Amino acid sequence: MSVKLIARSPDLKRLQDEGYEIEVRSGFLIVRSVPYVTSGRTVALGAVVTDLALNDDITQKPRDHQVWFAGELPCHATGAPITALGPQQCRQKLCEGVVVDFRFSAKADYPDYYAKITQYDEILSNPARSLKPDVTARTFRPIEACEEDSVFLYADSATSRAGIVPASIKLAMKKIAVVGLGGTGAYVLDLVAKTPVHEIHLFDGDRFLQHNAFRSPGAASLDDLRQNLSKVEYYTSLYSRLRRGVIPNQEFISDETIGYLANFDFVFVCIDRPTVRKMISEFMRLNNIPFIDVGMELEMIEDQACLVGACRITLSTPGKRDHFARHVSLEGAVAEDLYGTNIQVADLNALNAALAVLKWKKFCGFYQDCYQEHQSVYAINAHQLTRDETVTM
């Protein structure tokens, strides 16, 4: 990705052609071997790092004038700090292999990354050159081609912009499954597709039909509907526009197919048949697999012509499974109730999915999880979110 991206962006290409040691990694541009002067008046080499504004894997105008710097506090030839850089100490790991020490702020309206990088290079290198005339950041040292092992078809520049790559990599599980691609499962897929999970396996035997379209993420076209695709085919083709590793299984999970769920790192169970839920939860326990089961119920209050209901999110982990049967029905087939008639509640589906994915991210350590609640319910009419089955640390 790095090589392709540099080749397609004229400003990065020019930096490379002029001999800068540039590398693109996790949405950051890293320029190494930039000479600067330390407070001890020696010449050292540092790295200038900026996030990249990208579209279609081509650089856009930089979103701000600031950069990060890996090295000591840069100084003038006299050894006095270069205050014009407005250096702020901020030691942090931006992504794998990139630890920075300072944030600089040399204000200017940089039209592209060539202008931005060369400006910072001058501020840092000029004092160094006054002490050692032959030093330069334009080393023409060959950089090993770094083809990034990314699941995305285009770089996730949102994550690097926000500076949360170290948290984000915690989500890079090898194999997760979404069982059931009804309203809630489809929104779970929508959210996990945008994380660095390597493989997302989809399990559902249904077809994608007109009534599904109104509680699905995105906007299905009439043409999409006419193709009479299975749900897993439809969603695989939709999300393969964004990423690799979406794997369709046009199967309902039953006692014959339950074995497919072995060896997953995490499973989202988004189904509405309690007996299947029971089978899956038992299988997860035997195979030591953490999972989240989601569900909701809605009811019409006839005389008020409004709906009441609740969403439930239940986490089951190798460390805590005893609560599952207390909160989740494991018996009986689907009843013919209001929700069973495909009432349109995409907002609740999306909420239920978002709460489930949020919980998974807590399980991964992406978000802090003080109480480690394994059970939560959102009651609509009370606007209430509960926190139960907590684990004290």
Partner 1 sequence: MIQEKASHQVDAPGHQKSFTIIVNGRRRTITDHKLTYIEAVHLAYPGEQPSETVSFTVTYSNPHGKDGSLVEGQEVKVQDGMVLNVRKTDRS
From 80-88, 104-112, 257-265, 267-275, span contacting partner 1 (CB under 8 A): 267-275
**Contact flag: residue 267 with partner 1 (CB under 8 A):** no
CB distance 247 to 199 below 8 Å: yes
Q: How far is the CB of 270 from partner 1 (least distance, A)?
A: 4
String marking each residue 36-65 x if it binds partner 1 according to CB under 8 A: ------------------------------
Which of these ranges, 11-19, 147-155, 242-250, 289-297, lies near partner 1 under the rule CB under 8 A?
289-297
Contact (CB, 8 A) for 166 and 192: no
Residues β-bridged to residue 301: 306
| Structure tokens belonging to residue 18 | 């002029």
Dist. CA 136–CA 43, nearest whole Å: 11
The distance of closest approach from Cβ of residue 193 to partner 1 in the complex, given in angstroms and rounded to an integer, is: 18
Please tell me whether residue 388 binds partner 1 under the rule CB under 8 A. yes
Q: Toward partner 1, which CB reaches closer, 137 or 270?
A: 270
The C-alpha atoms of residue 40 and residue 72 are separated, in whole angstroms, by: 10
Q: Which of 35, 183, 248, 290 binds partner 1 (CB under 8 A)?
A: 183
Q: What is the DSSP letter of 145?
A: P
d(C-alpha 185, C-alpha 320), whole Å:
23
Among residues 166, 287, 379, 390, the one that binds partner 1 under rule CB under 8 A? 379
Least distance from partner 1 to the Cβ atom of residue 57, Å: 36
Q: Does 191 bind partner 1 (CB under 8 A)?
A: no
Q: Is 27 helix (H, G, I), strand (E, B) or coil?
A: coil
Question: Please, what is the minimum distance in Å from the beta carbon of residue 276 to partner 1?
Answer: 11
**Binds partner 1 (CB under 8 A): choice among 38, 126, 250, 386:** 386
Give the alpha-carbon dihedral of 50, 55, 56, 57, to 10 degrees. Answer: 0
Residue in 84, 90, 162, 382 binding partner 1, rule: CB under 8 A: 382
Partnered with residue 52 across adjacent β-strands are none
220 near partner 1, judged by CB under 8 A: no
Q: Closest by alpha carbon to 67, among 27, 24, 117?
A: 117
Q: Is 272 in the site for partner 1 (CB under 8 A)?
A: yes
Which of 14-22, 33-41, 164-172, 271-279 is the region at the interface with partner 1 (rule: CB under 8 A)? 271-279
For residue 111, CA distances in Å to 27, 45, 46, 62, 116 come to 19, 26, 24, 7, 8
- The residues, ordered by sequence, that sit 6+ positions from 173 with a Cβ below 8 Å of its Cβ are 197, 198, 265, 266, 364
Interface residue with partner 1, options 84, 108, 325, 370 (CB under 8 A): 325
Contact between 127 and 57 under an 8 Å Cβ cutoff? The reply is no
Cα 207 from Cα 229, distance rounded (Å): 6
- Asked if residue 344 binds partner 1 (CB under 8 A), the reply is no
Q: Which residue, 316 or 352, has its beta carbon nearer to partner 1?
A: 352
Q: How far apart are CA 3 and CA 40, in angstroms?
A: 37
Taking the least distance from each CB to partner 1, the nearer of 195 and 281 is 281
Closer CB to partner 1, residue 165 or residue 311? Answer: 311
Using rule CB under 8 A, residue 212 touches partner 1: no
- Total residues contacting partner 1 by CB under 8 A comes to 46
Among the residue ranges 19-27, 98-106, 269-277, 283-291, the one whose residues contact partner 1 (CB under 8 A)? 269-277
Torsion of CA 121, 124, 127, 133, to 10 degrees: -40
Residue among 104, 99, 76, 77 at smallest CA distance from 88: 104
Instruction: Report yes or no: 292 and 188 within 8 Å, Cβ to Cβ.
Output: no
Q: Find the binding residues for partner 1 in span 99-128 (CB under 8 A).
A: none
Is residue 309 close enough to count as binding partner 1 by CB under 8 A?
yes
Residues forming contacts to partner 1 in the complex (CB under 8 A) are 180, 182-185, 270-272, 274, 277-278, 294-299, 301, 304, 306, 308-312, 325-332, 334, 339-340, 349, 352, 375, 377, 379, 381-382, 384, 386, 388
